[in-house]
Amino acid sequence: MDSNTIYGTQGTNLRLTDFSGASGTLVDSSTFAAGERGLDYIEYGGVKLLATINSATSVVTLYDVSDPTTLASPVTLTNTTGTLTANGNGTTSVQWGIGAGDEITLYAMATNQGIQAFKVSIPEPSSLLLGGLGLGLLLRRRR
């Protein structure tokens, strides 16, 4: 999240940890769905987002983490179709790409299941609060 605060996974738990030198202090722990492994955080247009991918299903989940101790308003998406090849080693990766205006690209990969790309439209932070819709993302999928 910043120069001394990170999100990481341990089993099915998301850990938020603050570091001071070589010492870490656990700030918060949330439970993920089984298989949610790869993750990436970004603050874009004043909105703080955490993206994850499930190593078994290739389902990508976006969380609003405006409050870093709360995984709010999950939105799930996928570009995969049909029966997926097993990801026996459980490796995944998620990476936010380049943004322009209120839109940013998100890439997600699970071994043996391919790479997905999404264009994510980010609403104004004030509209998230006024609309009461949580994340309220508009997603356009690309193949």
Q: What is the mean pLDDT of the chain?
A: 83
pTM of the shown model? 0.81
Q: How many whole angstroms separate alpha carbon 19 and alpha carbon 3? A: 9
Q: How many whole angstroms separate alpha carbon 69 and alpha carbon 15? A: 9
- pLDDT value of residue 81: 87
Helix (H, G, I), strand (E, B) or coil at 78: coil
Average confidence (pLDDT) over 128-142: 42
Helices (H) then strands (E): counts for the chain: 1, 11
| pLDDT above 60 for 135 | no
pLDDT digits (tens, 9 = 90+) for 63-76: 998 888 888 888 99
